[in-house]
């Protein structure tokens, strides 16, 4: 098949999503290398991202471009062989087993705290903010922390386990505002180092360890934005760990990105360049893993808020890029821009969700009141 045919196929597909090659709308694309068309048809989403990193194509509004192609279902129409090895590997091996737990820490979270300090809010919260009633990122993230603490019904003197504690923002907030003791665990050396500094003087212990190694007992368990790294072969194990660490009358809050369908892999470009070995759980997978271990008290979806959060992260990253460029370079800039804005588009298209789920071990006597905790 000739180049012209490749170009026609891609152009026709994009037209179905309202995107024009060389058009004048912000979501239209400009192709700078004619080999782009064949590369994408052969390599699918992995090739699309790599071609962007290489400067073969551009778009003024990547977020809107991705929203449109996802709403049109183009991701399902452009199949390729590139995702097959991931699917096979997910079936044959446990890609998130304990011996591989620290890989995502090294390859994503340890790339440099300066990137995250430049991009995130003042507390360095690397998960979806809660934008109801908020006018800026700091307030929206504080709203989210308040919401979590209210749902957990924290009381002074409680002991809390934070699985996937990041840079300690939630741990610091819980300890400083609610008088609780917190044990935070992470698989990132850089997160652990900075979190310990930021939580200095508070009853917060930060540990560089895998969640499967925790066996102590806590009044509350919380996990924010970490379940995406657990993997479907380990969902049952994760729930067993959360249950064994939770006192009989305790509460467990899980905050995770979720997918609309059950799967065992993530987008190949995201897997290779951003979150190795990640996978988004479905509602069916979460509920199945919790069955027989927990009572689901509340299930709250505010996935549309991640679109706004990601746009703010990109604006911060882009504004601060001049002081980062010498260390990271242009290819990294294009990779990170693609990551943030493609994800924003996916949440805008409602392809991905954000769930906060509250579990109890045996059911809250008298019932759990979720409406009491939402602004």
Q: How many angstroms from the chain centroid is the CA of residue 146?
A: 20
Alpha-carbon span 334 to 326, nearest angstrom: 14
* Residue 245 DSSP class: H
Do residues 197 and 218 lie in contact, with contact meaning Cβ atoms separated by under 8 Å? no
Q: Which two tokens stand for residue 95?
A: 């890609």
* Other CB atoms within 10 A of residue 214 CB: 18
Alpha-carbon span 101 to 118, nearest angstrom: 26
Whether 343 sits among the annotated catalytic residues: the reply is yes
> How many CA atoms, within 13 angstroms, populate the side-chain half-sphere of residue 253?
25
Catalytic residue among 59, 149, 343, 372: 343
Q: Which helix (H) or strand (E) covers residue 17, if one does?
A: none
Alpha-carbon span 319 to 316, nearest angstrom: 5
Do residues 60 and 4 lie in contact, with contact meaning Cβ atoms separated by under 8 Å? no
Query: Sign of the CA dihedral 107, 223, 287, 77?
Result: negative
Q: Which residues are catalytic?
A: 343
């Amino acid at each position: 098949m000739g180049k012209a045919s490749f170009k026609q196929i891609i152009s026709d597909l994009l037209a179905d999503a309202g995107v024009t090659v060389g058009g004048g709308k912000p979501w239209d694309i400009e192709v700078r290398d004619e080999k782009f068309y064949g590369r994408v048809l052969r390599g699918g989403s992995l090739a699309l991202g790599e071609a962007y990193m290489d400067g073969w194509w551009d778009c003024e509004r990547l977020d809107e471009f991705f929203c449109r192609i996802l709403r049109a279902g183009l991701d399902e129409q452009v199949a390729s062989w590139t995702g097959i090895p991931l699917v096979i590997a997910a079936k044959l091996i446990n890609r998130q087993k304990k011996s591989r737990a620290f890989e995502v820490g090294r390859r994503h979270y340890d790339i440099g705290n300066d990137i995250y300090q430049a991009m995130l809010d003042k507390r360095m919260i690397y998960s979806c903010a809660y934008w109801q009633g908020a006018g800026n990122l700091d307030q929206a993230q504080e709203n989210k922390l308040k919401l979590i603490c209210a749902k957990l019904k924290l009381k002074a003197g409680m002991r809390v386990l934070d699985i996937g504690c990041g840079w300690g923002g939630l741990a610091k907030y819980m300890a400083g505002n609610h008088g609780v003791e917190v044990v935070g665990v992470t698989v990132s050396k850089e997160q652990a180092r900075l979190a310990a500094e930021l939580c200095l003087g508070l009853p917060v212990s930060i540990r560089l360890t895998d969640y499967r190694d925790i066996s102590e007992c806590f009044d509350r368990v919380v996990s924010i934005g970490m379940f995406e790294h657990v993997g479907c072969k380990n969902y049952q194990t994760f729930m067993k760990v959360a249950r064994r660490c939770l006192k009989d009358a305790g509460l467990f809050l899980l905050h995770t990105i979720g997918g609309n369908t059950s799967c065992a892999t993530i987008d190949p470009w995201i897997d290779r360049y951003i979150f190795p070995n990640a996978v988004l759980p479905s509602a069916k997978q979460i509920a199945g893993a919790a069955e027989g271990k927990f009572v689901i008290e509340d299930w709250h979806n505010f996935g549309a808020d991640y679109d706004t959060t990601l746009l703010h992260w990109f604006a911060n990253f882009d504004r601060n890029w001049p002081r980062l460029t010498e260390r990271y370079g242009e290819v990294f800039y294009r990779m990170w821009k693609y990551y943030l804005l493609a994800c924003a588009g996916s949440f805008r298209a409602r392809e991905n969700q954000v769930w906060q789920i509250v579990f109890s071990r045996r059911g809250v006597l008298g019932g759990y009141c979720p409406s009491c905790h939402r602004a």
